[in-house]
Amino acid sequence: MRNVRPITEEEVKAFTTISANAYPGIDLFDPENRKRFQERMINYQKNGIVRHFALFEDGEMRGVMRLYDFTMNMLSVKLPVGGVGGVAVDLLHKKERVAADMMQFFLQHYKEKGACLAALYPFRPDFYRRMGFGYGTKKNLYRVRPGHLPKGKTKANLSFLTNKDRAAIQDCYDRFLKRNHGLMERSSFLWDEMFTRPMMHTVGVKRRGTISGYLIYQFQRGRDDHFLANDMLIRELVYDSAEDLLELMAFLQSQADQIERIIFNTQDEYFHYLMQDPRNDSGNLLPQVYHESNTQGVGIMYRVIDARRLFRVLENQNFGDVSCRLKITLDDSFFPQNAGGFVVDFVNGRATVTNGDAHEVAIKLDVAEFSSLVMGAINFKKLFEYGLASISDKAYIVLIDRLFAAPKPICLTEF
């Protein structure tokens, strides 16, 4: 008999053992690391950041995971989203569907809590794509010479920020969140944590008591054999306006004599426009004449758990002013209650899920690709071109693209 439930404090040790074996890279065999991991688990659990769940079979713990109750800005609507991380299975019980059962529990759990979406960072994209998770926005890693960033007009409003500025920084993030699709709310506990990490430094733009932009960075050794070769790793860059962004860039630009490279990890696909010279330090040339500017990674994945409800929750959203009765049929072999067809009646962009089957146009796709489509990570035309979606009448492709047009989602939350 299997069941999945939250763990008790006595079960923290068994949870740690499974995690230690699944992630040897984080070295939880070291007693100090293990102790810190367990203290963090208890602290996070107490502060409601995360809940630890485990799958038990015949009373024995077989697999573990962390669940996160997120609130995400989806197309300007704040929605609950279920997050999962730290999935790990007892080495003796791999390939027995332990992870699959935990993931199905996870989806059901958040469906019952009213979430229409789930998110995760995959250890292997294919493993979760099979389970219906679709790709989000890729991340770009830039290694820029400080001198190639904009010089800005002034640095007059810049200062180092400390824990005292936390409330104003949080306000700045919250305004950024309102303007950016995909961002997750951040609890004050996590903000506290950010400001207690000694290697993190924050520089912000202060205007009349308001923080209108900030960047969080840490130094990184550029070369092991040379203590003067240092890089700056940007952990977060948030701003209200171009003026604020340029002032922060002026700060980075002026580090040219001390810093070799500024490292940005960003989901902004246009970021290279900011730079005088966007080439990274690889010197690589792609055929014919394309200079390597950044490396890219596939990371965060999204999954629709309850497609019909998603359109109900987004009833006040304007889907591109489109008027059309669209039938959406989803393949969802991993969470079959979400599979099948339903009709959404769009009138001047407003969506209503109907009970009938009458429709003008029908599309069919897997829930993984549908999840990427509704999140704005890809458009319908591309899915159709790749054979990942079908449509009853090709003439409607432009309309369907208008309907789902959304900015690419960004996420600054690590979990």
Q: Which residues bind ligand COA (CB under 6 A)?
A: 22-23, 87-89, 94-100, 123, 130-131, 333-334
In the complex, what is the shortest distance from the CB of residue 214 to ligand COA, in angstroms, rounded to a whole number?
Answer: 30
Smaller CB distance to ligand COA: residue 26 or 167? Answer: 26
Q: Which residues are within 8 A (CB) of 267 and not within 5 positions of it... i.e. 6 or more apart?
A: 137, 138, 139, 140, 408, 409, 410, 411
Q: Which is nearer to ligand COA, 29 or 123 (CB)?
A: 123
Least separation, in Å, of the C-beta of 235 and ligand COA?
A: 22
In the bound state with ligand COA, the residue whose beta carbon lies nearer, of 184 and 215, is 184
Q: Which is nearer to ligand COA, 22 or 326 (CB)?
A: 22
Nearer to ligand COA, 121 or 404 (CB): 121
Query: Nearest distance from residue 368's CB to ligand COA, in Å?
Result: 9
CA–CA separation, 162 vs 268, rounded Å? 27
Indicate the residue among 244 and 332 with the shorter CB distance to ligand COA.
Answer: 332
**Residue 270, Cβ neighbours under 10 Å: how many?**
8
Toward ligand COA, which CB reaches closer, 125 or 147? 125
User: From the CB of 304, what's the least distance to ligand COA, in Å?
Assistant: 14
Question: Closer CB to ligand COA, residue 120 or residue 203?
Answer: 120
| Nearest Cα to Cα of residue 129 among 282, 261, 301 | 301
Per DSSP bridges, beta strands 226-239 and 259-266 are parallel
- Which of 276, 333 has the CB closer to ligand COA? 333
Kindly tell me which of 22 and 119 has the beta carbon lying closer to ligand COA. 22
Nearer to ligand COA (CB atom), residue 142 or residue 334: 334
Q: Shortest distance, CB of residue 68 to ligand COA, whole angstroms? A: 13
CB atoms within 10 A of CB 27: 12
Convert the chain into a string of H (helix), E (strand) and C (coil). Answer: CEEEEECCHHHHHHHHHHHHHHCHHHCCCCHHHHHHHHHHHHHHHHCCCCEEEEEEECCEEEEEEEEEEEEEEECCEEEEEEEEEEEEECHHHCCCCHHHHHHHHHHHHHHHCCCCEEEECCCCHHHHHCCCCEECCCEEEEEECHHHCCCCCCCCCEEEECHHHHHHHHHHHHHHHHHCCCCECCCHHHHHHHHCCCCCEEEEEEECCEEEEEEEEEEEEEECCEEEEEEEEEEEEEECCHHHHHHHHHHHHCCCCCEEEEEEEECCCCHHHHCCCCCCCCCCEECCCEECCEEEECCCEEEECCHHHHHHHCCCCCCCCCCEEEEEEEECCCCHHHCEEEEEEEECCEEEEECCCCCCEEEEEEHHHHHHHHHCCCCHHHHHHCCCEEECCHHHHHHHHHHHCCCCCCCCCCC
Least Å from the CB of residue 408 to ligand COA: 23
Q: Could you tell me the smallest distance in angstroms from the CB atom of residue 369 to ligand COA?
A: 13
Give least dist CB 86 to ligand COA, A: 7
> From residue 177, how far is each of 77, 139, 206, 373 by CA, in Å?
11, 18, 19, 21
From the CB of 303, what's the least distance to ligand COA, in Å?
A: 11
What are 167's two structure tokens? 């409330």
Nearest distance, CB of residue 24 and ligand COA, angstroms: 9
Smallest distance from ligand COA to CB 158, Å: 39
